[in-house]
Amino acid sequence: MILSVEGVEFSYNSHPVLKDVRFEVERGELFSILGNNGAGKSTLLRCLNRIIRPRTGSILIDGVKLSDLSRLEVARRVGYVAQRHEGSRVTVFDAVLLGRRPHIRWDATEKDMAIVREVLAALRLEEFSLRYLDELSGGELQKVIIARALAQEPRLLLLDEPTSNLDLKNQYEVLRIVKDVARERRIAVVVVMHDINLALRFADRFLLLRNGEIYACGGREVITPENIAGVYGIPVRVEQLGGVPVVVPV
């Protein structure tokens, strides 16, 4: 077990946002957080990265409480990709090398360089190594940001809507890469998503949030018309297409 979340609650100015959230994520697993706008998905992700601190409850990574770790130790264990990021006048290689900062004492070593090259190859970004971030397409930039997080060699990778603003091809390519990385590196991946059908295609398990509370949690069996209607307030059918469940509004 890499991630264990036990009774996490969070409030903004005494307004409850998360209430008694509990779940676990195994190594090699892609875990998707679903829910409508304002359900608390991004807030939960920020708690998992200790950007904000829960009011109550605990978060454990490899059995160690997140609250007991220094910021440096958190950065070594947790990779985080936020919703929005902008290109800048830095090369792809240097941008990914920044992910090694939690591990670098004085200067980047050959090991650090080798890890960057390995990550760039895994995400098929070698040909962009010397390109500047502000010259990349949205899909290319998203892969670079994910590559930087992977260069940290995290035990837990957190992604906040990684496919937003991407075209269909890049949505599938980014999530396929993330899923492959989770399995090959045996890390836990937690992804906040809006597209239920993308989640059904790539995620292993799902957490459905409604008003900051867990509505359902589990495998594909929890993606039912009743649960979707309860969370999103819209009637749907769940059909099978090529062996993959597809949610269709009715």
Q: pLDDT tens across 91-126, in order?
A: 999 999 988 888 877 788 888 899 999 999 988 899
Alpha-carbon gap, residue 55 to 20, rounded angstroms: 11
Q: pLDDT tens across 66-75, in order?
A: 999 998 899 8
The overall longest dimension of the chain from CA atoms, in Å, is 59
Quickly count: other Cβ atoms within 10 Å of residue 60's Cβ. 17
Nearest Cα neighbor of 99 from 144, 165, 155 is 144
- The pTM of this model reads 0.91
| ∠ CA 5-217-184, rounded to 5° | 70
Instruction: Identify whether the C-beta of residue 39 lies closer than 8 Å to the C-beta of residue 211.
Output: yes
In this prediction, residue 110 carries a pLDDT of 87
| Phi and psi angles of residue 127, each rounded to the nearest 5 degrees, phi first | -70, -15
| Phi and psi angles of residue 80, each rounded to the nearest 5 degrees, phi first | -135, 130
Strands (E) in the chain, as ranges, are: 3-12, 15-25, 30-34, 56-61, 64-65, 78-81, 156-160, 188-192, 205-210, 213-218, 236-241, 244-249
In this prediction, residue 86 carries a pLDDT of 61
Nearest Cα neighbor of 134 from 164, 81, 92 is 92
Residues whose CB is less than 8 angstroms from the CB of residue 47 and which lie 6 or more positions away in sequence, other chains included:
8, 10, 18, 53, 54, 59
What's the number of domains the chain is made of?
A: 1
Instruction: Identify whether the C-beta of residue 145 lies closer than 8 Å to the C-beta of residue 137.
Output: no
In this prediction, residue 84 carries a pLDDT of 64
In this prediction, residue 59 carries a pLDDT of 97
Mean model confidence pLDDT for the chain: 91
Q: Could you tell me the sign of the dihedral formed by the alpha carbons of 217, 221, 226, 232, in that order?
A: positive
In this prediction, residue 97 carries a pLDDT of 92
- Compute the radius of gyration of the chain from its Cα atoms: 18
Instruction: Identify whether the C-beta of residue 140 lies closer than 8 Å to the C-beta of residue 91.
Output: no
Q: What is the pLDDT along the chain (250 residues), one digit of tens a residue?
A: 899 999 999 998 888 999 999 999 999 999 999 999 889 999 999 999 999 999 999 999 999 999 999 988 998 899 998 876 666 788 999 999 988 888 877 788 888 899 999 999 988 899 999 999 988 888 888 889 889 999 999 999 999 998 877 888 888 888 998 899 899 889 999 999 999 999 999 999 999 999 999 999 999 999 999 999 999 999 999 998 888 899 999 8
In this prediction, residue 76 carries a pLDDT of 86
Q: What is the CATH number of the domain that holds 57?
A: 3.40.50.300
Range of the domain at 133: 3-249
